[in-house]
């Protein structure tokens, strides 16, 4: 294996380590919301700094490989994809931390039930994230394309949540703070779905050299 091959292998291993950390952060954030678990929520918020460090380190390593080896063709495509996915993973971790902060706020208010469709949305988003990361690990283009189809379903639920928010606020204005917390969670979940879609698109780019972002009908 050429030196560039060893370097690319090392970059890919670092990326996979980051995917595991980020996936766990999202899972814990949703569990913290479901269970009103302050300790879990705080853990996710605190772990965001670790993800930020890992993202910066991987980006710096990618730039070093670009500068030292000036890769072309497929090697260059791999590094570009790693850089893009690295950034998307860091942003997903940010959204997980945001959800955890909303979970703390929701538990502190503690009155009233969740009247938005957060549970189903969270399950779909976790499924999308899992599929996008699996497609990355296994170079599975069929799974990557399945993620693209799921994104519209999450967008629909978020739109429904927004309409439900407006309706419930009119009926019960005193619940606006709690409803707004849940609507904010819905928005963060939608962003995770968008970023999972980005990763799936990058997996397709990595394996086929096809840039499909903004081309899906």
The predicted model scores a pTM of 0.91
pLDDT: is 172 or 21 the higher one?
21
- Segment 25-73, tens digit of pLDDT: 999 999 999 999 999 999 999 999 999 999 999 999 999 988 888 867 7
Cα-trace Rg, the chain: 19
DSSP 15-63: HHHHHHHHHHHHHHHHHHHHHT-HHHHHHHHHHHHHHHHHHHHHHHHHH
CA atoms within 13 A on the CB side of 194: 12
Query: Residue 203: which domain range?
Result: 3-208
Is there a domain that residue 217 lies in? no
- Segment 187-214, tens digit of pLDDT: 999 999 999 999 999 999 888 876 666 4
- Segment 160-179, tens digit of pLDDT: 999 999 999 999 888 899 99
Encoded tokens for 31: 């569990």
Contact indicator for 193, 125 with CB cutoff of 8 Å? yes
Is there a domain that residue 146 lies in? yes
Is there a domain that residue 215 lies in? no
Is there a domain that residue 123 lies in? yes
Helix/strand/coil percentages in the chain, nearest 5: 90, 0, 10
Is there a domain that residue 106 lies in? yes
Is there a domain that residue 213 lies in? no
User: What's the structural domain count of the chain?
Assistant: 1
| CA 193 – CA 92 distance, rounded (Å) | 9
Contact indicator for 44, 97 with CB cutoff of 8 Å? yes
44: domain CATH number is 1.20.58.220
């Amino acid at each position: 294996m050429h030196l560039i091959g060893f370097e690319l292998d090392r970059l890919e291993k670092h990326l996979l380590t980051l995917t595991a950390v980020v996936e766990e952060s999202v899972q814990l954030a949703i569990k913290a919301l479901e269970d009103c678990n302050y300790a879990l929520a705080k853990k996710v918020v605190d772990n965001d700094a670790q993800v930020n460090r890992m993202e910066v380190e991987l980006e710096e390593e990618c730039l070093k490989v670009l500068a030292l080896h000036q890769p072309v063709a497929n090697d260059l495509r791999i590094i570009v994809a790693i850089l893009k996915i690295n950034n998307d993973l860091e942003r997903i971790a940010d959204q997980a931390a945001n959800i955890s902060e909303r979970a703390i706020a929701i538990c502190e208010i503690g009155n009233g039930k969740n009247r938005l469709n957060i549970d189903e949305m969270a399950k779909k988003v976790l499924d999308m994230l899992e599929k996008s990361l699996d497609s990355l690990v296994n170079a599975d283009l069929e799974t990557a394309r399945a993620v693209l189809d799921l994104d519209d379903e999450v967008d629909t639920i978020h739109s429904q949540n927004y309409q439900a928010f407006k309706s419930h606020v009119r009926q019960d204005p005193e619940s606006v703070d709690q409803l707004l917390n849940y609507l904010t969670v819905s928005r963060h979940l939608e962003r995770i779905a968008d970023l999972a879609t980005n990763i799936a698109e990058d997996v397709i780019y990595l394996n086929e050299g096809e840039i499909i972002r903004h081309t899906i009908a």
